[in-house]
């Protein structure tokens, strides 16, 4: 938790506003997230957290605002890019509140699909690959290797050939994150990764996220209700309420911020400590 302040901002969200007809879902929200750090976006239900994610990942076009990503590949204005470009070029990966693995495919295949752009490039679009060109086989071997690495990190090597839908819930959550990581993103957006996890699984998730921050050095943007996750691992927290940013800072500062306490429960402070 010492390094983060040195790095350049990875993504800058400036004056982001999203209106759906008369409803203002996000109102002039600005914040930044950095590489080598975990930034949490929290807030009561309906505060606009997922909408922020949907704007960043191209599901929505923001009404107003600029989203600048400065990654390894250069500078991208995310609000001007189309959905699949954000994944491919700007290298932003995301997961959803509900698990969206490919349930009928094996654990390994799930991780292979995520690397498929690389494979396609190596295969010169498919036919060469089918004919077993050497460049394709090398790429395929490298993809399997990366997948194996991630299976080790999430502790699922033994389950590589099981259908993903058969895994226990917590393992599915971890697999989903590993799959997102196999796209080799610079920014990983996780929408409530701890939802429905028991405390042990939740602790495993914490470890995984911390290792992604420290080992892979990418930026992690996190929506989470589970305060044991948020407070333990976040470097920076952005608090939304009714679409507005009401506080921002490190966990300690946010925890004692009166506006945050009011938004969550009126007055009592204990519930946030949870």
Minimum CB distance to another protein, residue 143 (Å): 9
Buried b (16+ CB within 10 A) or exposed e, 2-35: eebeeeeebbebeebbbeeeeebbbbebebbbbb
3-state SS of the chain: helix, strand, coil percent to 5? Answer: 45, 25, 30
Question: Using CB under 8 A, which residues numbered 26 to 85 contact another protein?
Answer: 57, 83-84
CB 177 within 8 A of CB 190: yes
Is 200 an interacting residue with respect to another protein (CB under 8 A)?
A: no
Cα→Cα distances 259→24, 49, 61, 237, 241, Å:
20, 17, 29, 14, 10
* Contact track, another protein, 118-157, x by CB under 8 A: -xx--x--x--xx---------x-----------------
Minimum CB distance to another protein, residue 102 (Å): 4
* Contact track, another protein, 95-114, x by CB under 8 A: -x---x-xxxx---x--xxx
DSSP summary character for residue 73: T
- Choosing from 4, 48, 62, 87, the residue that interacts with another protein (CB under 8 A) is 87
Minimum CB distance to another protein, residue 202 (Å): 24
CB 239 within 8 A of CB 42: yes
Q: Which positions touch another protein (CB under 8 A)?
A: 57, 83-84, 87-88, 93-94, 96, 100, 102-105, 109, 112-114, 116-117, 119-120, 123, 126, 129-130, 140, 179, 183
């Amino acid at each position: 938790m010492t390094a983060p302040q040195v790095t350049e901002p990875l993504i800058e969200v400036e004056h982001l506003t999203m209106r759906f007809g008369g409803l203002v879902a996000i109102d002039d929200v600005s914040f930044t997230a950095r590489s080598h750090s975990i930034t949490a976006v929290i807030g009561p239900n309906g505060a606009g957290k997922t909408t922020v994610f949907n704007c960043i990942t191209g599901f929505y076009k923001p009404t107003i605002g600029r989203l600048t990503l400065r990654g390894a590949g250069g500078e991208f204005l995310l609000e001007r890019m189309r959905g699949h470009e954000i994944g491919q070029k700007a290298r932003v990966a995301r997961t959803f509140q509900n698990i969206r693995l490919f349930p009928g495919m094996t654990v390994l295949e799930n991780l292979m699909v995520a690397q498929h752009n690389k494979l396609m490039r190596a295969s010169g679009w498919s036919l060469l690959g089918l004919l077993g060109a050497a460049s394709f086989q090398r790429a395929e071997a490298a993809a399997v290797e990366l997948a194996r690495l991630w299976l080790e990190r999430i502790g699922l090597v033994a389950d590589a050939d099981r259908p993903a839908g058969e895994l226990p819930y917590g393992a599915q959550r971890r697999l989903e994150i590993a799959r997102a990581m196999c796209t080799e993103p610079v920014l990983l957006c996780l929408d409530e990764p701890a939802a429905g996890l028991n405390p042990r699984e939740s602790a495993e998730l914490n470890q995984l996220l911390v290792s992604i921050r420290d080992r892979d050095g990418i930026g992690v943007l996190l929506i989470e209700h589970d305060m044991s996750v948020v407070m333990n691992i976040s470097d920076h927290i952005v608090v939304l309420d009714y679409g507005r940013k009401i506080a921002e800072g490190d966990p300690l500062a946010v925890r004692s911020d009166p506006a945050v306490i009011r938004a969550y429960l009126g007055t009592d402070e204990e519930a946030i400590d949870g």
